[in-house]
Amino acid sequence: MDEIEMSRLDGPTVAQVALRSASFRMATKHGKRSQGDVDEDERKGKKTEKGGGDGGVFRSRSLSRAESYHAATDETNIFLNPDLDSPAKQRRTHGDDEDSVFLDEEGPRREREALRRPKRVRKPRYGTSKSKQGKKLEGLKKEIDVDFHTCELDGLVRRFRTDLERGMTSEAAAERLEEDGPNALTPAKVKPKWQKFLEALFGDGFSLLLWLGAVLCFFAYGIQKGVADEEPQKDNLYLGCVLAGVVIITGFFSYFQESKSSAIMDSFKKMVPPSAMVIRDGKEPAAIPAADLVVGDIILIKFGNRIPGDIRIVQSSGLKVDNSSLTGESEPQSRTPECTHTNPLETKNLAFYSTSALEGTAKGMIVQVGDLTVVGRIANLASGVDSGPTPISIEIGHFIHLVSAVAIFLGVTFFIIALALDYYWLDAVVFLIGIIVANVPEGLLATVTVCLTLTAKRMAAKQCLVRNLEAVETLGSTSCICSDKTGTLTQNRMTVAHVFYDMKLYDVDTTEDQSQGTPDKASPTWWALAHVAGLCNRATFGADQEDEPILSRVCNGDASESALVKCIELSWGSVGKLRSSNPKIAEIPFNSGNKYQVSIHEQQSDPHYLLVMKGAPERIMDRCSKIMVRGKEEEMTAEAREQCDMACMQMAGLGERVLGFCHLFLDPVKYPKGFEFNTESVNFPLEDLCFVGLMALIDPPRDAVPDAVSKCRTAGIKVIMVTGDHPITAAAIARQVGIISSESETVEDIAKRENRPVAKINPKRAEAAIIHGSQLRDMPSDELDNILHIHKEIVFARTSPQQKLLIVEGCQRLGHVVAVTGDGVNDSPALKRADIGVAMGIAGSDVSKQAADMILMDDNFASIVIGVEEGRIIFDNLKKSIAYTLTSNIPEISPFLLFIIVSIPLPLGTVTILFIDLGTDMVPAISLAYEQAESDIMLRKPRDAKKDRLVNQRLISLAYGQIGMIQAAAGFFTYFVIMAENGFLPYTLVGLRAEWDDRDNHWVDDSYGQQWTYDERKKVEYTCHTGFFVSIVIVQWADLIISKTRRNSLFQQGMRNHRLTFGLFFETALACIFSYTPGLGEGLRTYPLRGTWWLAAMPFSLAIFLYDEWRKFMLRRQPPGGFFERETYY
């Protein structure tokens, strides 16, 4: 697994996870600094500048950074005078200036005490208060860095008081462990299960509204029971029990759905190694628990180990580590003792906590442990941030406010009316409670929960696994997607994209099946290039995969070499046979100094040994004096070299990783069979080789991504690439998939076209922007907001976890609903902060999956677009379900109002209201969740959360003021028909309530002079309840059909939703069961109806259908913003 460095510009690293002030903390904590040095600096009036090996002198600006860092970590006063035992005394002695360095009068004793380890002032764990938590999070969001990689080893040894050969003493390590605590991540505060269950029962406005209704029902029943001389009717008691039961059942359901709670810190802990090999007291290395490691420990690492802390490499023998979970870099990263970059995540002499050693061995010094490590900071940031309420929870809260306002307004209004009509005040209170409860949509909470669950199941079938039910709708509300590149937009496999040989550049098919292979395979040069790429290569196919497609086979080796092997296997033939016929005799592995790899092979059919080499193109061409053209070796002329350089630059400009290949047939006289090749003191030629060609590799886009990005644009969704990869590669992929369109220019493109400095170009002229992570380091939030606002197409490259989080927060400040995709540990803070975090199911780490609300099981960006469409559909369908459900509130409430105002016998009872809300309406309302999208679903812009509400005034107006009124008219018509056919004409009902409900009055006359006893009257009343109930079912047929669409005609949408058709039959059958089942009359107070009484409501049902078709026709006919859209389009 050799690393061949690409011939392209290097830049800062992917995840600049910060450690600057942490370094300063260690400098002051373990360092040595004399009073004379401090006095000299104070006299000069400036802060000291840290040198390479002084071990303890501070950087300028370190103090302020340290202050900000310790404000975040709740640890202060690192600059402690050992003579003063409290931070307060320190401040009293030396003032409150944050940049002041302590001084005291006892210089000689101060110098002696400076050698002692100052004790840390322990603070309570963060999270004890919201203010501390907020300060901590703000500190963790800041970019900081360390000097552990730039400081000379001797300086670190003095700083940490250790020894590179003997290690620390056990006593010093024990003391440091006592002061610093274990090398472990601080566990996050976890809610107990009982608290989660109570939140499921009482935690949202909908549940509270239903609980309020239940309590009011119990209260009303209690009042009636307390003042009545005889046992009152138990309608309110039944209703209260039903409301409580609905909340408890849905609460259990929600609790178990959400029981897979986020366990981010547990996922981080799985990454931590259980033990480490450490050198202490000059003894042989011994294994100790990783939690017992302290700063300054000398440890040994070998391939297969996880790094037990942030370490400075002291010695290395080919060590390579996997930083992919931390930085997003898929290539193994070599580690050496030399500092190669000022950025700690770029340099090769640091390795980080929880990353894996893939190859080689090393000795290192622990420089950070626990929460102060790179991973520790990310873990604390991820567990501390929160996305806040979801859009659907905000909408439901808004709906609760509307329904509550309507209920309270009606209740108070009719309470006043009842008092004005000389009702007894206790009866008026019961009326008040009854009207409020009648407005409570008992079945809507269950409907919403089931609709979201059904959509989640449907999305799971489309490779989107939903971990949080409310995330279903959130994805549909998304207006901005911040997408990772590797594995989401791309195939997550390095692939040969271009080859250069015979002085020509060829494209190679990079589709997911690579069916087209490589061009011009007949050329002898291609065969030579294939030989070099296949032989100078350590990657191998896994065992027992002969029957698997080549591209699906698992390779043992790094990504680049695996790509070469698969390319050769596809286009040339068996790499295994090639290697068996050309066995390897000697090898010089790749190293960062030479930047090439060499191997020598014995050819079975030729006496010549074959030397093959691959590496960085410029290094390869520098060692070549000849070039192969059409199978013949020619002199490498300046023109040929220039042409090769141009091809290399062209491929590198596309963001591809370019490798050069050459070979040499060794003279059999000088190198006869059996010659012993020495790879240490090289005894074979590495110059005057023959250049064969170039190969360029890239992780290509997924086939479905360009179309998915195009759909996002059409739907008004802004797609931003946020990656840790190189800007050139990121920009190339962004252009290929359409995130940056072909006609868009960046500021740099405009400057190049106009031959002007970049600084002279107005950024507003550029539609696209490519922002490097280094630019974000010190960028104020308003400048970031400006970039996000003025540029339509943006790529952020070389970003750190903190920067990804800041980008997400910037988008949210602009009002976007943000979805974030990611697969690594470094993505977890942004995933958690986003309105919806989307993790990768295949390549994603456990940490990213725990932080996310949704998991893409196929790691494909196109699945997100499917999820967006499903989310938009469910929002539309929830609107339809709510409109359908709320409409029946008017025919449910109005009988009670007329019962109070005009004193007619009660047309509809409480029990029959429950039949509607929790019986006949439930299945039809849920069936609307299966309704197909209207034609414009992905042509609309993302909904405006401030204007396009789940329940708005237009929906209330349509449901209550239009359709609901027609339904109420149908119910009252049926009521009057039944009453009239039993002898009570409509005009005689007014003012009849008092006589009608008087148990002692057995002689109430009807319109024809017939006298009715109390029991006979109640049978007629309960028959009217049943008739009113059936009439609501019949008009709800039409209401269900018109609720299928908000704009389109039924004849455009069709009746293809068979579950909705089933719902129509279901509610009709249920109405028949309630009406005609023997024995229900006594318990549920329903009585059989004549067949003609079913017909009374049917004209009203037809009127509802015709009225709504006309309304939608006018809505489509008028231009956008017309009267019907303003007043009726919900």
Active site residues: 484
Cα 1077 from chain centre: 52
Task: Compute φ and ψ for 892, nearest 5 degrees.
Answer: -85, -35
Nearest to 610 by CA among 643, 637, 587, 626: 587
Q: Are strands 624-629 and 689-698 parallel, antiparallel or unpaired?
A: parallel
Instruction: Count CB neighbours of 4 within 10 A.
Output: 26
CA distance 698 to 1074: 68
CA distance 835 to 853: 9
Alpha carbons within 13 angstroms on the beta-carbon side of residue 123 total 17
Whole-angstrom CA distances from 758 to 770, 794, 935 are: 13, 17, 45
The token pair that represents 671 in the structure block: 């190198």
If DSSP states are collapsed to H, E and C, what string results for 924-951? Answer: HHHHHHHCCCCCCCCCCCCCCCCCCCCC
Whether the CB-CB separation of 1056 and 1119 falls below 8 Å is answered with no
CA distance 1043 to 1112: 11
CA distance 1070 to 1064: 10
The token pair that represents 923 in the structure block: 């299945």
Cα 554 from chain centre: 29
Instruction: Count CB neighbours of 664 within 10 A.
Output: 23
CA distance 861 to 839: 11
Amino acid occupying residue 453: T
Instruction: Count CB neighbours of 678 within 10 A.
Output: 10
Whole-angstrom CA distances from 196 to 201, 264, 543 are: 9, 17, 48
Identify the bridge partners of residue 499 per DSSP, sorted by sequence position.
Answer: 506, 695
The token pair that represents 237 in the structure block: 């008691």
If DSSP states are collapsed to H, E and C, what string results for 879-904? Answer: HHHHHHHHHCHHHHHHHHHHHHHCCC
The token pair that represents 1090 in the structure block: 């004549």
Residue 1120: which region, alpha, beta or left (left: phi > 0; alpha: psi -120 to 50)?
Answer: beta
The token pair that represents 1045 in the structure block: 């669409």
CA distance 18 to 867: 35
Residue with token string 């929002």: 875
CA distance 841 to 818: 20
Nearest to 721 by CA among 476, 490, 386: 490
Whether the CB-CB separation of 294 and 177 falls below 8 Å is answered with yes
The token pair that represents 776 in the structure block: 């974000």
CA distance 560 to 657: 9
CA distance 763 to 768: 9
Instruction: Count CB neighbours of 442 within 10 A.
Output: 24
3-state secondary structure of 674: coil
Instruction: Count CB neighbours of 169 within 10 A.
Output: 15
